[in-house]
Structure 1
Amino acid sequence: MLAADLVFACALVVMIGCNLYVAPRIPHARIAMQWGFDGKPTWDAPKRIALWGMVVFMLIVRLIIWTAVTFAPDKVHGAELGLVLASVIVAASHIFIVLQAIRRA
């Protein structure tokens, strides 16, 4: 699980660094979180929740995976792959959202 934890930690550091660097550069109070097929935002969130909510989400996912592996190890299969995929996908989507917020500014 060490390699998966390293990927998770790197993704978390990238997201936190991205938030610290980009937050002052986004002048809007709200950030678009999802887009429709026409390319227009379908909903948005307050800036703090949009930026830091994803970090909290990743920590909660890691806590759930740790709990499952610790208390029901015989029922958990592929926890390492799941953690790596979740880390990469959440970090990539967060970076996409941040880049869209910068582009909108």
Structure 2
Amino acid sequence: MAVDPSLVERIRPLLAEHEPVDERRMFGGLAFLVHGHMAVCVSGQGGLMVRVRDDERDALLALDGAGEMVMSGRPSRTWLRVQGPVLDDDAVLAEWVERGLEVIDDLPPKA
């Protein structure tokens, strides 16, 4: 499956005030990096990969559309996959993007 171009276009304005933002093809999708850290990625398998705090992961999994992100055969503690009709709602998409941004806000910029 290809990266959903409409989802990409809806995410770009949500990141506009967080310059510098880099877009890179990674993990079969299009990743959005802010200050060198990946916050979200539009997945080539559909939906969105979102960086989350480990201590918030379990509560976020209870939200509509959220599921485990499996990497190397193991569920990630710091990434979730968000899929389905829930992403059609602009407010919900903005909330997920903001969650990814909040995680990287505490990280130092990468050189």
- Choose between structure 1 and 2 for higher RCO, CA contacts under 8 A separated by at least 6 residues: 1
Normalised by the length of structure 1, the TM-score is: 0.34
Task: Give the structure with the higher percent helix.
Answer: 1
Larger Rg computed on CA atoms: 1
Task: Give the structure with the higher percent strand.
Answer: 2
